[in-house]
Amino acid sequence: MQNGLRGRLIGDNKLCLAVLSDPRFADLFTPADYTRVQAAIPWSRNIATCDAATLRTIRDRPEDYVLKRPLDTRGRGVVIGREATDWADAVNTALVERWLVQEYCSTTVLPVDSGGLRHDLTLGAVNGRLASVFARVGTEERLNIARSSRPHPVFL
């Protein structure tokens, strides 16, 4: 385990994104930090805490959502609504197992002669300072090094 047990159960838990996104937890942050977080994190909730109207929207608009198992890695346990063959079953499983539901954000297609390759950029910060940067490039919507993506260097 890369981060040890505490890191895995807290920092690796995708439900942390729900805490960062949900206004019910805004008081955990300074107003300035909360504003920064809201600009960087897509809408994210523990699906089991969503009200009936929100659940209807999630069920009716799979193209707008992604489901993520909280403690999973390597792209497993991710269901992209627009790719799901049985979205209703995926939502039911997510409700029972208390998964993260997140606004769908498409990956960016490289603007050069790339053959449709997609990319993302991940920034890591510690104590407000940039600590790491990495990029992934691949052909799938779900960019993951354990699947079909490849890491690329980032030069600062």
**What percentage of the chain has pLDDT greater than the value 90?**
44
* pLDDT at residue 93, as a whole number: 97
Q: How far apart are CA 121 and CA 96, in angstroms?
A: 32
* pLDDT at residue 1, as a whole number: 40
Tokens of 2: 């890369």
pTM value is: 0.73
Banded model confidence at residue 2, pLDDT cuts 50, 70, 90: low
Query: Looking at the predicted structure, is the pLDDT value of residue 115 above 60?
Result: yes
Residue 122 bridge partners (DSSP): 134
Helix, strand, coil percentages, rounded to 5, for the chain = 40, 25, 40
Cβ burial, residue 45 (10 Å; 0-12/13-18/19+): buried
Residue 148 bridge partners (DSSP): none
Mean pLDDT of 93-104: 96
Share the mean pLDDT of the chain: 84
Query: Looking at the predicted structure, is the pLDDT value of residue 5 above 70?
Result: no
pLDDT tens digits, 23-33 = 999 999 999 99
Mean pLDDT of 83-109: 93
Structural domain boundaries in the chain: 4-103, 108-152
* pLDDT at residue 136, as a whole number: 80
* pLDDT at residue 129, as a whole number: 78
